[in-house]
Structure 1
Amino acid sequence: MAGMLNIGVSGLNAAQAQLNTTSHNITNAGTVGYHRQTVGQAARPPLFTGAGFFGQGTDVTSVTRSYNQFLENQVLQADNRRAQYGAYSAQIGQINNLLADSTTGLSPALANFFAGVQEVASNPTSVAARQSLISNGQALASRFQSLNTRLEEVRQGVEGGIVQTVESINTYAKAIAEMNQRIVVAQAGGAGAPANDLLDQRDQLLAELNKLVQITVVDETDSGKANGAVSVFIGSGQPLVLRGTVSQFQVIPSAADPQRGAISLTAPGGNTIEIAESLLSGGELGGLLEFRLVSLDAAQNELGLIALGITETFNAQHKLGVDLEGVLGKDFFKPIAPTVVPAVAGVSTSITDVSEVRAKDYRVLVSGGSVRLFAGDEELASLALAPAPAWPATLTGGGIAVSLPGAASIPADGLLIQPTRNAARNIAVGISDPREIAAGGPVSVTSPLTNQGTGKVANIDIRDIAGMDGSGDGVPDFSAFALGFDGTGPALTVPAGFTIERLKMDAATGEWVTDGSYPSGGSSTTYTPSADSSGVQFRVTGPGGYTFDFRFSGTPESGDAFSFGPSVAGVADNRNAVALGALQTTKVLGADASGRPTATFQSLYAQTVTTVGNKTREVQVNEAAQESLLDQATSARDSVSGVNLDEEAANLVRYQLAYQASARVMTVAQRLFDELISIGR
């Protein structure tokens, strides 16, 4: 009877355990991160008799959770990528809406500014048109500044998001380390049995941490046997949690750019290292860092390049003209100097060719026995330190020149040079008097009535004004000179001290260059009326270096002359205004490998808008794809480890019946025992 009673008790205990576990599953069906638990049973060792082996009942051997490491990893990977694209998408959407907006974007301001230039070209003596141009220039500068301000606000938001994310990482790391300790203690006290609920809680902490940054989890062992603790690594193996020990992450000023936050790791021993952004991939932190590096920096630099390009090219052309007072033009926009970080005494920078400037941050480093200039990862120039160069020395490349007082002036982390980053913030109109707009050309030509032929000079294009202002008062006062035609050459001639050369169009660059088939560098060059009457381009260089091009056409007679001299102040001259207006459609930025500019202001802005738009769409598509993958992976995982309430309800009935049956076994055993007692009486 005792055996039967013991069997019934074992069944009762097993059913009770099953009922408790099933009830636990049902009540935690809505608990995030919970894994369905099941009770393991095994038959007790049988008792041998002469008739054979008789069973002794059952034992509860384990309570395990339904857990599949492969499926869990799929969920973590999909969720990590989803969080990364989600963070990226939320940020880049702001830039896309800002730049592409037909009202607040740059395109309308650009169009209005050059419309003002065209208005001055149409009516160069109108003070109202000139004032309108200044106002449009100020509106353009204001638009650049407002766009840059909004980008700076986005940047501040990203920097704040990085700080908050790092703080959350530290919080989760500490919680995981504490959970490690609880699990180790619990499993040690439970003869190594898994602490299922604690494991679920830790897995949920790991899942939340995984949303913030990509992690690698390693199970820890003692003497080759798992002890329940895990270690967590990020990046290329930097330890975040080692069992119960936690490393702290913090945001510090970057060594490369103190204006932006960098992630550093402080180990328990106190050592602090800066972690490269490329190593911190995945999760919200990876998305924020990638957005800042790939999209935000690029958008701000490209916007700044347009501002710098307009400033440099418009100023350069403006200074080739004369204003209503006959004075050579000054800078229309205030010049923009590249930003140097840190500021070092004796270091100066300048723009040498804006078409060569990259929309990137530059850096000067001392490396490998040389001082090197980089734009991003592209090396632009270098200066060997042995033998020692004559200081100060200048590095020139990528459209800028950097003057250095000595190698010792360059910090160990290098000099950061930002020619475009702050240009949109710093652009500003430099003149306020509408009479100072240099709409006219400084060189004019007249034809004496004594000329017998039909020769004509047109399209005077000023290339350089050096030497035009001999007295230093800003007024071009160079001496008038005559261009003559010698019919015996036949040739066009200029006085001694001047040079003239015949030009041809370079099909590759679209620029006028010296035609080597004709004499050049002297005071005369070939012009054959019978062959050239439709027009030929020439270039004259005068004393002091001033240079201009012109087109000569028609059929001159020998002895005909054309007098070049300073323009008369106040005349209705729009030649430089026309040249200024032509900048709207002239390719002046983005030089290719051959040095030929490939982009106008508008096309570069359109390219920026397109790039941001395409990246926005790409990120949104990837986010949607990862959402779908996450749903699939979660569904596959839940099919194994999730709680099915219908199944648990059925189990509840089944285990209840098993409990009742075991109780019935005990009742039968009791009755049999009572019958034997009654027989003995």
Structure 2
Amino acid sequence: MSLLNVGSRALLANQVALQTAGHNIANVNTQGYSRQSVVLQTVPGQFTGGGYIGKGVDVHTILRNQSELLTRQATAAASVDASDSARVERLRQLQDVFSGGATGLGAAINDMMNAFSDVVNSPTDLTARNIVLTRIDETAKRMVGASGRLDEIAATVTEQLKGDIKAINLLAQNIAGVNDQIARAKGNGQPANDLLDQRDQLIRNLNQHIQTTQVAADDGTVSVFVAGSQPLVLGNQAASLSMDDPQDFGAASGQKRLYFQQPGSSTKSELGESTLGGGSVAGLLRFQNSDLQEGYQLLNRMAAAISLNLNEQNQLGLTLDGSMGKALLSDVVPVQPKPAITNTSAGSLALSIADPNKLPAASYVVVFTGGTAGTITAQPNGQAQAFANMGDLQTFFSDRGLQITPSGPFNANDQFFVDPLKNAAGKMQALQFSPGQLAAANPVNAAMGASNAGSLQLASLKASGDPAPLTLPPPTGVVLSFTAGTPATFTLTGNTGAPFDASTAPPTPLVGPPYTFTAGQAISIDGWEITLGGTPKTGDSVTVGNATDPQYGDWYKRNAGNAGAMMALRDTQMFDGATLSDGFAGAMAQIGTRTQSAQFAAELSSSFAANLERDRTAVSGVNLDEEAARLIQYQQAYQASAKMVQIAQNVFDTLIQTMGR
């Protein structure tokens, strides 16, 4: 009987081994499956006078081949890879908006500015004027198109985030359900290998959307945490995530936030973006809240600077009918600062644009720590800069081309979101379509004195409106009278305001009268600017008159001084020191640099994740060659066990027959 028992145990044990090998082969392509192995143990021998006689083998357990460390490392690396991949995919779309080439926005801007050269050469050519207006309209349409493309990207990112969050909540519920099954199965005393594989795969899938940490409990369940410490799954209970606008400024900020809600609770907690780690949600939020916002800011600043500068200069010139020019593009109305819903005072901030050439490509959050002090933080992820009083606050924005007017009192923790150029590109629109409405002529002209004996020459004359509003000369004109000397000097008659040195930034008042004359120095008088070269003699003069005075006839129709001033805007520094002609190239480089950096990070994280996954599968994966060899091994053992049972049966039959005689 003992031999029969030994054979029977061996037969059953090898049958389990064959079944386990077959289970491995059947699941070779099952995602998340961990290879299983039969662990055999010797049945304790029976003591006799001649020693311990073996009683065969039993199946101790079915071992799940996996490394907890490698599994967690591979899961975390895959989560980072998912974050980087999601971000770089969207950055490539953003880069397409800021692409170069003949169909790009930069080409439209350059074509628009270069078109002024034909008007400068032939101010009465209606075709040349019409081309300028057509180019302006084309630039405006491309700006609107680029802004619309950014809106489309934002909408698709929002929808993808919603889909990810829906998947996260479903996976969390599934993990909680598997946790419950595992806890029940643990009472049997053996691990539920397939359920453990299922849970690990669910956690891996969850980490594709949001990075998690796991803590195992004594009952076999695993608690899953997000954002460092928020329990997404506790035992068989799952919390939920949702996405919404920030609590403080709402949709005005253009950003999105992730919110956590405990089971059975109506309270939602905002999760910090920096605490999310990896996962596609983290990558998409980083793109939405940082990369995309920078794209909006660069585009809106460009649209605002072009519109404001062209409008201002055209309004300083004369049209073909002798009237002052009008705005060429729709006006840029700054968006007023948005107070946070948590503010406890009635204080407000008012904003206007003071200098279109200093506008920042950024938004700001102003936080008051007291009635007049606080911090200013560029969005997103900027460093907080303190201001001690309202003067400091106004200076900060003045240096960025903005004039801010506070209206207090303010309480501690009051906040304001400042994004003055929001949707400037989306609202850009050409307003003038008649060639005669292009104000190509200067509203002032200059004539050298008939008796001039020196070498005075007119280098340039234009209306600037800076630093004083344009005031046209009286019928007798504004006369500059010179006196020779070292240095030469001049006096003014007919002017309204004092002269400025326009060569400095900002323009500085000239000391006088008499005023020192410097050849090549730009002199600003009553909002127009004159530059003279050469050396004057005593008694020399220059008279600047109103171009529309009847005494000058239709001179203004043949003048293109203001068109030249508009063409010169392409070399004006508007974008952090970059000129208008280089502005789009700078924006393209900024987005390109972000994309290149993100691409490098994605390649690195992908390689790291692939290496760790390879290490994990080396432990957990099924090797068909190995399993085939084991099948042969277990088959031979099974056949030998069967032979043992057969022999035991023959011995037993012989024994019965012998005893029957």
TM-score (norm 1): 0.86
Answer whether contact 2:314 2:562 (CA < 8 A) is retained. Answer: yes
Report the secondary structure of 1:34's partner residue: coil
Q: Distance in 2 between matches of 1:9 and 1:31?
A: 33
Residue of 559, 576, 597 corresponding to 2:539: 559
Alignment of 1:407-486 (within 5 A): 407=409, 414-464=415-465, 477=474, 480-486=477-483
- Counterpart residue identity of residue 579, structure 1: A
Instruction: Kindly indicate whether residue 490 of structure 2 is the aligned counterpart of residue 492 of structure 1.
Output: yes
How far apart, in 2, do the equivalents of 1:536 and 1:579 lie?
Answer: 17
Which secondary structure state, in structure 1, belongs to the residue aligned with residue 558 of structure 2?
Answer: coil
The residue number in structure 2 matching 1:517 is none
Deviation by residue 1:7-26 (Cα, 9 ceiling, x = unmatched): 22221221122122112112
| Secondary structure at 1:228 match in 2 | coil
Report how far residue 146 of structure 1 moved. Answer: 0.5
Aligned mates of 1:351, 1:468 — CA distance in 2: 16
> What does residue range 270-419 of structure 1 map to in structure 2 within 5 Å?
270-340=266-336, 342=338, 348-369=350-371, 370=373, 372-376=375-379, 377-378=382-383, 382=387, 384=389, 396=398, 398-407=400-409, 414-419=415-420
Partner in structure 1 of residue 562 of structure 2 = 576
The 3 A distance-change label for structure 1 pair 201 and 47 is same
CA displacement at 1:379 relative to structure 2: 5.1
Q: Is the contact between residue 469 and residue 476 of structure 1 (CA under 8 Å) also seen in structure 2?
A: no
| More off after superposition, 411-420 vs 64-73 | 411-420
Letter in 1 for 2:208: K
Cα distance per residue 1:90-119 (max 9 Å; x no partner): 212222233215143112211221122222
Q: Where does the alignment leave 5 or more consecutive residues of structure 2 unmatched?
A: 341-345, 549-553
**Number of the residue aligned with 2:258:** 263
- Which residue identity does 2:193 align to in structure 1? N
Conserved in 2, the CA contact under 8 Å of 1:340 and 1:415? no
Could you say if the C-alpha distance between residues 5 and 341 of structure 1 is closer, same or farther in structure 2, counting changes exceeding 3 Å? farther
The sequence identity of aligned pairs, in percent, is: 29
State the 1:651 CA deviation.
Answer: 1.5
The structure 2 residue matched to 1:600, chosen from 554, 579, 590, is 579
RMSD in angstroms over aligned alpha carbons? 3.1
Query: Residue 394 of structure 1 contacts residue 403 of structure 1 at CA under 8 Å; is this kept in 2?
Result: no
Gaps of 5+ in 1: 222-226, 515-519, 591-597
SS of the residue 1:550 aligns to = strand
Q: Does 1:207 align with 2:204?
A: yes
Q: CA deviation at 1:49?
A: 1.9
Question: Displacement of 1:585 after TM fit?
Answer: 2.3
TM superposition shift of 1:43: 1.0
Partner of 2:54 in structure 1?
55
Question: For the Cα contact (< 8 Å) 2:369–2:412, is it kept in 1?
Answer: no
For 2:86 and 2:468, the matched residues in 1 are separated by 58
1:71 alignment counterpart:
70
Query: Of 209, 229, 235, which aligns to 2:221?
Result: 229
For residue 547 of structure 1, report the CA deviation from its aligned partner.
5.0
Find the aligned partners of 1:381 and 1:424 in 2 and give their Cα distance: 31
1:643-678: CA deviations, max 9, x gaps?
122222222222222222222222222322333333
> What letter matches 2:563 in structure 1?
A
Corresponding pairs, count: 638
Distance 2:220 2:212 in 1: 18
SS of aligned partner of 1:320: coil
- Measure, in 2, the Cα distance between the counterparts of 1:219 and 1:616: 39
Deviations 1:328-372 (A, max 9, x none): 333322221232464899753211223332211222333344355
- Whole-angstrom distance in 1 between the partners of 2:335 and 2:8: 84
